[in-house]
């Protein structure tokens, strides 16, 4: 089995929107540029399942917004052979 894991130690928020066989995940970081804080989209991934701990989840029509309630780590596990991704926040 071939697997790849991408880890983000900090994130500002995550937006999830439904797609055909899972969720479209947009990872947003907060960055400082010239003394100003701005949001930056790091990546967009498609995942089939998610495990969330230590987060606040806000539900809206057509999407969810996940905000960390404490310092958490985000991991996206990609099973390359089966082409499935799983998101874990803990």
Query: What is the pLDDT at residue 61?
Result: 93
Whether the full predicted model's pTM is greater than 0.95, yes or no, is no
Residue 5 banded pLDDT, cuts 50, 70, 90 = very high
Give the Cα separation of 16 and 31 in Å (integer): 21
Spatial strand order of the sheet with 13-19 comes to 36-47, 22-33, 13-19, 63-68, 55-60
Tens digit of pLDDT for each residue in 26-71?
Answer: 999 888 888 888 888 988 888 998 888 999 999 999 999 999 999 8
**17 Cβ contact partners less than 8 Å away, ≥ 6 residues apart:** 23, 24, 26, 62, 63, 64
Query: What is the pLDDT at residue 1?
Result: 65
Give the start-to-end residue ranges of the domains of the chain. Answer: 3-89
Query: What is the pLDDT at residue 66?
Result: 93
The helix/strand/coil state of 25 is strand
Contact call for residues 11 and 68 (beta carbons, < 8 A)? yes
């Amino acid at each position: 089995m071939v697997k790849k894991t991408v880890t983000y130690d900090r994130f500002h928020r995550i937006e999830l929107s439904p797609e055909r066989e899972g969720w479209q995940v947009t990872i947003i970081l907060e960055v400082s540029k010239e003394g100003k804080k701005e949001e930056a989209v790091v990546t967009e991934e498609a995942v089939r399942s998610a495990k969330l701990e230590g987060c606040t989840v806000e539900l809206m029509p057509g999407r969810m917004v996940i905000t960390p309630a404490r310092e958490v780590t985000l991991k996206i596990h990609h099973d390359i052979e089966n082409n499935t991704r799983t998101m874990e926040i803990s």
